[in-house]
């Protein structure tokens, strides 16, 4: 509060969204929201973590985005972020276990060990727009979208 950066007194609105990008017929991209848009008002330089676990046909994936937003020169906003994707696959099933599970006569297959599937880190600038980065996990294409804007009137 007593520093020389008066803009640090103004909060920032940040948001995160993760979508699955699928290539359709004729190369057209179709998007399916995996992690719905989370929006939050934070202080300049506040460390924030967004996380969500989603089910996949092969187990589950955990998406985690750690983000720090700061006011930057020229009215821009600096976003420092780390993206981690962890996944746990279902344990191997026998054919009879699979049939019993599909008929709802057996419990859901157990998940195997959790493993880091993807990690990204970057520091970028934005002027109130969207920063996006694509990444793949086991052949599935995703896009993380980061939003930030100052709350300065």
Q: Where are the domains of the chain?
A: 6-150
pTM: 0.79
pLDDT band per the 50, 70, 90 thresholds, residue 127: confident
**DSSP readout, 22-91?**
EE-GGG-EEEEEEEEEEEEEE-TT-EEEEEEEEEETTEEEEEEEEEEEEE-GGG-EEEEEEEEEEEEEEP
- In sequence order, the β-bridge partners of residue 131 are 146
pLDDT, one tens digit per residue, over 16-54 is 999 988 865 555 567 787 878 889 999 999 999 999 999
pLDDT, one tens digit per residue, over 83-98 is 999 999 888 878 888 8
């Amino acid at each position: 509060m007593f520093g020389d950066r008066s803009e640090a007194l103004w909060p920032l609105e940040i948001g995160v969204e993760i979508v699955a990008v699928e290539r359709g017929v004729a190369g057209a991209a179709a998007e399916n929201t995996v992690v719905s848009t989370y929006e939050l008002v934070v202080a300049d330089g506040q460390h924030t973590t967004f996380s969500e676990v989603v089910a996949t046909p092969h187990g589950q994936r955990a998406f985690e985005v750690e983000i720090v937003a700061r006011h930057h020169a020229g009215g821009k906003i600096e976003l420092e972020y780390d993206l981690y994707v962890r996944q746990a696959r279902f344990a191997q099933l026998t054919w009879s276990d699979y049939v019993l599970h599909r008929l709802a006569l057996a419990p859901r297959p157990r998940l195997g060990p959790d493993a880091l599937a993807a990690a990204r880190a970057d520091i970028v600038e934005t002027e109130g727009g969207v920063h996006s980065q694509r990444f793949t996990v086991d052949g599935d294409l995703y896009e993380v979208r980061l939003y930030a804007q100052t709350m300065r009137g």
